Chains A and B, each alone.
Chain A
Amino acid sequence: NAGVTQTPKFRVLKTGQSMTLLCAQDMNHEYMYWYRQDPGMGLRLIHYSVGEGTTAKGEVPDGYNVSRLKKQNFLLGLESAAPSQTSVYFCASRDRVVYEQYFGPGTRLTVT
């Protein structure tokens, strides 16, 4: 099992550009999450999904959109990147019963 994978690992964007981060899990998990990790601010939840075709806002959703068209994939989109979105982005998943979140390796995004 690959677990949770994220692509890309690194990306540099210019202000105003758009991009999509892909998260994939092969554990048949129902729930998936997108977090951002910033120094001194810990982990903050951006959006999450409780199943295929569903998405919901987390703590800091502004400037991001998500889609969960397939159970195994959870996409995070930035339509118009801003320097404030420079961060490390982590995807996580878990199953319905056991409350352990499995994390991906992270995507380091820099917006200049």
Chain B
Amino acid sequence: AQRVTQPEKLLSVFKGAPVELKCNYSYSGSPELFWYVQYSRQRLQLLLRHISRESIKGFTADLNKGETSFHLKKPFAQEEDSAMYYCALSAPNAGNNRKLIWGLGTSLAVNP
């Protein structure tokens, strides 16, 4: 079954500390993974996609096929990073379409 698991509902760190938001997936094909972020009372927006291998706002995420993980990391958390983070997997859907399978999200709180 296709599934995305974010084991932590809430993660609380202090400003300047490293942060890692965990994402594990279950998918038999070649995965396409994303991290979306939702700041307080704002719309969801794409943060990272594994294909582009970029760093956005200091965040990086590496796809580990052996561990079926796509953890989001930042070496030094900032207060403005406080938000809800969703991991998502693109998977085939009916009629040659694709759909996003979402994790339940992790709420990151960065304390001063």
Interface size on B, residues (CB 8 A): 21
Are B102 and A99 neighbours in the complex by a CB distance under 8 Å?
no
Instruction: Determine the chain B residues whose CB is within 8 A of the CB of A103 once the complex forms.
Output: 43-45
Complex contact B104–A42 (CB within 8 A) = yes
Q: How far apart are A98's CB and chain B's nearest CB, in angstroms?
A: 9
> Which of the segments B13-21, B67-75, B92-100 contacts the partner chain?
B92-100
Cα–Cα distance between A103 and B34 once the two chains are bound (Å): 14
**Chain A's interface: helix, strand, loop or mixed, by majority?**
strand
Residues 23-67 of chain B, each 1 if its beta carbon lies under 8 Å from chain A, else 0: 000000000101000000011111001000000000000000000
| A45-B99 in contact given A40-B104, A56-B94, A99-B32 (Cβ < 8 Å) | yes
A44 to B102, CA, bound (A): 8
Convert B79-107 into 0s and 1s, putting 1 for each residue whose CB lies closer than 8 angstroms to a CB of A. 00000001000100011011110111100
A-B contact count (CB 8 A): 42
**Smallest Cβ distance from B17 to chain A, in angstroms?**
26
Are A105 and B43 in contact (CB-based, < 8 A)? yes
CB distance from A112 to the nearest CB of B (A): 22
What is the distance, in angstroms, from A50's C-beta to the closest C-beta of chain B?
Answer: 6
Give chain A interface residues in 32-54, CB to chain B under 8 Å: 40-45, 48, 50
A100 to B32, CA, bound (A): 11
Q: Is A90 an interface residue (CB 8 A)?
A: yes
Q: Which of B43, B86, B105 contacts A104 (CB 8 A)?
A: B43
Give complex CA distance A41, B104 in Å: 6
Residues of chain A contacted by B44 (CB below 8 angstroms): 43, 90, 92, 101, 103
Q: Are A42 and B105 in contact (CB under 8 A)?
A: yes
